[in-house]
A and B are shown apart, each in its own frame.
Chain A
């Protein structure tokens, strides 16, 4: 996903990556990524939980406020975001 993010940023599109697997993200280092504390395959949290999913997206959007340069990495705290 880091390679796709790079292709987008090179062409002027900002990206934010939602990742449940920090070990790979730390090696790949996409420009902006939010560590999401859910299992592999659950980057938006839990199924049929629209409010949780919206909170994760809103938290991801906040990475756009970081001035850079990247990589910018933050972690989602579900309790703090509730």
Chain B
């Protein structure tokens, strides 16, 4: 488990000054299908995407855009353009399942432990310090897209 002392001095200063946003009241979807009938998607903030997509950009406030990744993507084809040096990307570079566990979800679906793997998965980049456009635009767009796909459950993997 990472701690604040694992961060660089610059990141520690940011962490102690930044006012994290908490959603209140917290939305809570209480019910859903049994796991073995769930359509499962993954949303990561690792900044991975298809090689022909535009890279994530280092912009003031953070890049609030997202990239869609189809279910059958060979994970080794994904590139990572997350601009922050705050996290160790060696694991994701060695195995994209650490951010987007599509191989794992496929195996769990084949074993009947989950219903199916959703047709589309999503990558944002983290480190968005000015999230207004994320809240108003891109997060609702992604949520609506996953609703359209009939997704029941999302595994979130922040890095």
The chain A residues found within 8 Å of chain B, CB to CB, are 1-24, 27-31, 35-48, 50, 53-54, 57-58, 60-61, 64, 67-71
B124 engages A4 (CB within 8 Å): yes
Set A11, A39, A46, A53: member contacting B104, Cβ < 8 A: A53
Residues of A within 8 A of B30 (CB): 67-69
B158 engages A17 (CB within 8 Å): yes
A interface footprint on B1-31 (CB within 8 Å = 1, 0 otherwise): 1111010000000010000111100111110
Range class of the B interface residue count: 35 or more
Say yes or no: A2-B157 contact (C-beta < 8 A), given A13-B151, A40-B88. Answer: no
Set A1, A10, A24, A69: member contacting B156, Cβ < 8 A: A1
The chain B residues found within 8 Å of chain A, CB to CB, are 1-4, 6, 15, 20-23, 26-30, 32, 35, 43, 45-46, 86-92, 94-95, 97-99, 101, 103-105, 107-108, 113-114, 124, 126, 131, 134-135, 139-140, 142-144, 146-147, 151-159
B22 engages A23 (CB within 8 Å): no
A4→B136 CA distance, assembly (Å): 11
B156 engages A5 (CB within 8 Å): yes
Residues of B within 8 A of A70 (CB): 26, 28
A44 to chain B minimum Cβ distance, whole angstroms, is: 5
